[in-house]
Amino acid sequence: MTAGSGPGPRAFHLPVMCREVVDILAEAPEGVVVDATVGGGGHGAALLDRAPHLGLIGLDRDPDALGAAAERLAGYGDRVSLHHASFDALGDVLDELGHPQVSGCLFDLGVSSAQLDRAERGFSYRLDGPLDMRMDPTSGVTAADIVNHADERTLAVMLRRNADERQARRIAAAIVAHRPFATTAQLARVVAEAVPAPARRRSHPARRTFQALRIEVNRELEILEKALTAGIDRLVGSGRCAVLSYHSGEDRIVKSVFRRAAGEVPPPRPGLPPAPGSKATVRLMGRRSRTPSESEMSANHRARSARLRAVQRLSDDQRPQGDD
């Protein structure tokens, strides 16, 4: 484990939908649960308190988050193992640890309050800092690299794909016209000026642009399907996987992966034959995503857009028989 010197556990003290997540994972069979985005260890600590039959393998690509998790989870001894890794490396980490299968896995997607609140990380449109946005500040391209070098069409497509930004073309044109950018304040100001006045009143006009850039910098949507599939494939019979997503792009991927694993075929496009089905390996724990309570949304701003989905691995005697 590599521990950073950033904020301690208090900075990560509000894990989203913690009770609901723990209710799902605490019923997993005896073994270990992989928290693929361990953050400050809030979900992990609550789960270990509730479920003495479980251990925790925590992954995070942010060294500061790992430092906070190490402090938060120090009292659980050898029940906890922390590793500096992105969630799409889940399978590799488990292989290195000699864990071919696990009892559960958790993905808490998006950005943490601790990352947003530190101007030097470059995630916030409200705080002035370098235009960085890397979850792992030791590697990869920065947000500045993207806004200063991508062409206008590429920027517009990114804004629509990653954030459903309705003003994508206006914003992309403004970025190209005003670059180069070095700081978050410079970018936020240009984006705000490019957005029509009525749209500025709904929320901060740069919110979606910063979201889209963060997702692009960290390849969040690109690696999510691979990571979820690996997590499901590693579950023991009756093992459980829970995912917290925070915007429609993430939730669409989660829903698609889960439904495919449950043997459900997406509706075909008009005029095309139905796609072939597949054997179900999981059951959906609810047809719809769960959302936070009103009281949690009032207490924790980050929880407002959260969606929770979960699946349970079918045991061998529960799986459909016959050919694929």
Give the domain ranges of the chain. 9-114+220-318, 137-217
Please give the distance of CA 270 from its chain centroid, rounded to a whole number. Answer: 33
3-state secondary structure of 23: helix
**Cα four-point dihedral sign 133, 139, 142, 146:** negative
Same fold, 9-114+220-318 and 137-217: no
pLDDT tens for 261-278 read 999 876 556 666 655 557
> How are beta strands 235-245 and 102-108 bridged, if at all?
parallel
**CATH, domain 137-217, list 3.40.50.970, 3.60.110.10, 1.20.1440.130, 1.10.150.170:** 1.10.150.170
- The residue behind tokens 């953050």 is 39
**pLDDT for position 117:** 73
Quick one: tokens of 45? 């600590």
pLDDT at 4 over 50: no
The residue ranges of DSSP E strands in the chain, in sequence order, are: 31-35, 54-60, 80-84, 102-108, 235-245, 282-284, 307-313
298-to-113, 120, 295, 302 alpha-carbon distances in Å: 15, 28, 5, 10
Give the pLDDT band (50/70/90) at residue 290.
very high
Mean pLDDT of the chain: 89
Render pLDDT for 239-262 as a digit per residue (tens, 0 to 9). Answer: 999 999 998 889 999 999 999 999
Sheet of strand 31-35: strand arrangement: 80-84, 54-60, 31-35, 102-108, 235-245, 307-313, 282-284
This prediction's pTM: 0.86
Average pLDDT over residues 140-144: 94
| Residue of 113, 100, 49 whose CA lies nearest to 79 | 49
The span from the CA of 37 to the CA of 106, in Å, is 7
Residue 295 burial (10 A CB sphere; 0-12, 13-18, 19+): exposed
Give the pLDDT band (50/70/90) at residue 281. very high
Is the previous residue joined to 180 through a cis bond, with omega within 30 degrees of 0? Answer: yes
Please state, in angstroms and rounded to a whole number, the distance separating the CA atoms of residues 50 and 186: 46
pLDDT value for 69 = 95
9-114+220-318: CATH number:
3.40.50.150
Q: Determine the average pLDDT of the residues in 164-185.
A: 96
Structure tokens at 62: 């942010």
Residue 315's pLDDT band, with cuts at 50, 70 and 90, is confident
| Residues of the chain above pLDDT 90, percent | 73
In three-state secondary structure terms, 11 is helix
At 249, list the tokens: 């792009």
The pLDDT assigned to 309 comes to: 98
Which three-class secondary structure state does DSSP give residue 306? coil
Average pLDDT over residues 303-318: 89
3-state secondary structure string, 233-271? HCEEEEEEEEEEECCHHHHHHHHHHHHHHCCCCCCCCCC
**DSSP state letter for 284:** E
